[in-house]
Chains A and B, each alone.
Chain A
Amino acid sequence: MLPMFFWAFVVGGLICVIGQLMFDVVKMTPGHTMSTLVVAGAVLDGLGLYEPLMDFAGAGATIPITSFGNSLVHGALQEAEQHGLVGVLTGMFEITSSGISAAVIFGFIGALLFKPKG
Chain B
Amino acid sequence: MGNKKMTPAQEQYKKLEQKHETKRPVLKNCLKAFLVGGIICVIGQAITYFYIYFFHFTEQTAGNPTVATMIFISMLLTGFGVYDHIGQFAGAGSAVPVTGFGNSVISAAIEHRTEGFVLGVGGNMFKLAGSVILFGVFSAFVVALIKTLLTMWGVL
Contacts and interface: CB of A to CB of B under 8 A. Distances in A.
Given A12-B40, A62-B44, A103-B129, A116 B114 contact: yes
Most A CB within 10 A of own CB, among B47, B66, B143: B143
A49 interface: no
Given A9-B42, A16-B36, A76-B144, A39 B113 contact: no
Interface residues of A, number: 79
Given A88-B145, A102-B72, A104-B105, A63 B92 contact: no
Interface residues of B, number: 80
B26 A108 contact: no
Contacts of A58: 45, 48, 59
Contacts of B47: 59
B29 to A, nearest CB: 5
A63 B101 contact: no
A32 B104 CA distance: 14
Contact of B101 (A73, A84, A103): A103
Contact of A12 (B80, B97, B136): B97
B119 interface: no
Given A72-B137, A116-B113, A16 B45 contact: no
Interface string B120-147: 0100010011011111110111011111
Interface string B80-103: 110000000011110111111110
B92 A33 contact: yes
Interface string A51-73: 00011001110111101110111
A107 B106 contact: yes
Given A21-B30, A42-B143, A63-B67, 15 more contacts: A11-B41, A15-B37, A16-B90, A19-B37, A20-B29, A30-B95, A34-B101, A38-B132, A58-B48, A65-B100, A69-B139, A108-B121, A114-B110, A115-B110, A116-B110
Q: Across chains A and B, which 3 residue pairs bring their CB atoms closest together, nearest first?
A: A12-B41, A16-B37, A13-B38
Interface of B: 24, 26, 29-30, 33-42, 44-49, 59, 63-68, 70-72, 74-75, 78-81, 90-93, 95-102, 105-106, 108-114, 117, 121, 125, 128-129, 131-137, 139-141, 143-149, 152
Interface of A: 1, 4-5, 8-25, 30-31, 33-39, 41-43, 45-46, 54-55, 58-60, 62-65, 67-69, 71-73, 76-77, 80, 84-85, 87-89, 92, 95, 97-104, 106-111, 113-117
